[in-house]
Homo-oligomer: A and B are copies of this chain.
Amino acid sequence: MCLLLLTTCSLLLEKKMIVVKVGGSVGVDLDAVCADVARLVAVGRPLILVHGGSHLTNEVATALGHPPQFITSPSGYTSRLTDRRTIEIFEMVYCGQVNKSIVERLQALDVNAVGLSGIDGGLWRGTRKKAIRAIENGRLRMIRNSYTGRVEEVNINLLTTLLSNGFLPVLTPPAISYEGEAINVDGDRAAGATAVALNASDLLILSNVPGVLRDFPDESSLIQHIPRHDIDRIAENYAEGRMRIKLLGAKEALDGGVGRVIIGDSRGTQPIEHALSGTGTIIS
């Protein structure tokens, strides 16, 4: 059976897998994303959807009396300060409300979606950072109660088992540490690691901007193409906040063998089709 399963999986992976990451910011149109997923699945294109939920998590955390806090690393990356209570709220929104609302939409479109977090089946594993360095009012601070990390291993077996049985995986953070603790990981980079593990031809990172902007937030300043060797320079000179992490994810994906990364817009109709046809920032 193992041999047959491996054969099925290889055939599957040869068919130009797409990994689509859709962000959790204001303006992202999940109905449009799901309609596109249904169209691609109907023509037999293997696909995995990864999603976020940051904006809604901020709202729910505030409503529950545990408002979000963000930290900035010495190298300038911003991330959520994730204590144990934040992990619970994070799971409520990412794995509960958002993940199930996407699976429900896809099921209504006859796509046999299965929603999973990175905890399930040990799908996304990484090391929990025991101490995080953050810059606060110009001074370095060590944070030790944080449940965060980075995806280091992707359990491809769970994904190929589901794909080869006709299910569409819908993935979301958190991931899980080697000690079995839920850890917050960046969704863009997790999508990149997944694309690498599945030998994907395309990684689409969709959010509420048209792509990488030379002059943020001027949407007419879109950078249409970034060659691999130019990613660091662009990230340093033009990208702000979340976009720097998307570019880091793109670089990791290309270095891992993904064909191309497209950073595109998910605020309008047919966001996946548009990105696949080259609308957005293509990184290759």
Contact = CB atoms under 8 A, between A and B. Distances in A.
Interface of A: 1, 4-5, 8, 60, 63-65, 88, 91-97, 99-101, 103-105, 107-109, 112-117, 119-122, 157-158, 161-162, 165, 167, 174, 176, 179-182
Nearest to A8: B1
As for how many copies of this chain the complex holds, the number is 2
Contacts of A100: 91, 95, 117, 119, 174, 182
A183 to B, nearest CB: 10
Contacts of A93: 92, 96
A157 B117 CA distance: 21
A64 B92 CA distance: 13
Of A92, A161, A176, A181, the most chain B CB neighbours within 10 A belong to A92
The listed residue with most B CB atoms (<10 A of its CB), out of A94, A96, A119, A121, is A96
B104 A113 contact: no
Nearest to A106: B180
In the A-B complex, the 6 residue pairs with the smallest Cβ-Cβ separation, listed nearest first, are: A96-B96, A108-B180, A92-B96, A92-B92, A1-B4, A91-B100
Nearest to A110: B180
A112 B101 CA distance: 25
A120 B109 contact: no
Given A63-B64, A100-B119, A165 B157 contact: yes
Contact of A161 (B64, B161, B176, B180): B161
A181 B104 contact: yes
Contacts of A122: 107, 112
